[in-house]
Structure 1
């Protein structure tokens, strides 16, 4: 907590109110905007209380400077007398709230700080979502344009072949096949984007029997299992609280990846779950695939992040990003442990179902 006021008595007033409001915080004091800016370069503050009247630059100027430099820090304007115009101007410049010093009590300071922190958290969340959306859109446009460019190029080649009355059927068939493949890649990408965005939809939760979910998953992957001769095993899986459709997508992505990114003669995947000390279930999906280098443990969950050439392993780069979104929507987290050519284990948390132990 940063308290900026040139009056020592007023700084003590705020500090006393914080204590009376049972707010556990570490306070740093400043007597001017310059001192406040310097303090913010030394510490990461959650909230700052700025006096309106300060020597040199006033509180409004200070709010503008601090908000520009530290946009996610909550700022509260304090003044010796209530003034609606000052309050309005402070909010325009980036303040989260406003309070007259005569109204500062333990209860009022607690309410106003909690409200300011909530607003700052919302601003941070919206900014991160906006950044994610912009990055997602940029990569999506790039990935959609690639197959479209291929379709156009091969269509031109086919047009020239037909116009020149070329009788080489194999050549024409090859061009048609490439057009079809490019269109299929675009169709796959659109379907995967739909699944990715669905993970943001309304989450209808209820008891989910994960034994049944894994059986449905294996049924959906039957053709892949058959073609690769893969073996998937699992222990007894629990009931969890969640959305059956999204959890099926989660397991299907993880098991499918374990089979796809495997060069062993017989791809194997094992799924198990164990309770943790917080009452949640930790699932593990272990495969004998090509593995992931430690430096990429976080990157693999980013949208459109591919670690391998598309010509060797097809994919849109949204599978694990969708898994991360689904798990986080269920209040858990997902991570992995792996090494090159030694397989990968993906771990994720799901809440236990209260009614069914």
Structure 2
């Protein structure tokens, strides 16, 4: 038995502990409005690339230029990349302008109203040590906030959740080269670009940004509650974070806590705010864990309401993507994707 114990101990001593699995993503989001909106920062057509939720490029219908949004993108990508990218975005802008009108007619919408067509496509990977593997690809369209059409990567066909999308599904499924290219792009080309961009921005992306954590209270009248206690973590990147409000070092249940959800700041970092209503002073603290931290941050509430008239600023929320999070549907005739930087326009 002693021999077995020694052998078991030796095996455990030299056992390899799996590396932490990281998830990374590259997505492109295109948004088209059916008519102009007289609001600052809102354009008829916008397009942006997001690497691990951080904007890396941008285009709008006013400037009509694809521009870098990270200094390492500007340094690493050659001039012809931006020239070809600009032409590609202009082509997509024309395609969206045509097809948002086709879609309004199909839906029998009032053209005096504003309608929104979006497309999101890209891929996600998982990396462990030096190995990476494809996780999933997404190619989906939405119209006025409702899912319209999505590509089923496993089955290599389009899925139409609404009847109005059926003509487009049938037309696109009847173009084998479209589905073949879409699958190939999601599983291979997108992954190659993702890895290339991560390599270019390696130091900055891997280093990340640690959260700044604050705890404060605001006087409020809400039944028996006297104060609203808030924990704020801001300035962190990447966006995955754990934030917990604790009472006597015990986490409060989720149904007692209000959460803003993770939101973007203007500088590419993120913020998260959680609040709880309290009726008595006790030992409360804010517990925050993030990939950039060796140890969790724990900030204790000092029991004071330092500014009962307002809460401290939490940073500017990043720009607006109209209404819905993802993607509205481009309907229209078959779209032939010849390479990553070209989409030919067609109509029904």
Short-chain TM bin: under 0.3
Q: Judging by fraction of residues, say which structure has more strand.
A: 2
**Higher relative contact order (CA closer than 8 Å, sequence separation 6+):** 2
TM-score (norm: length of structure 1)? 0.21
TM-score (norm: length of structure 2)? 0.21
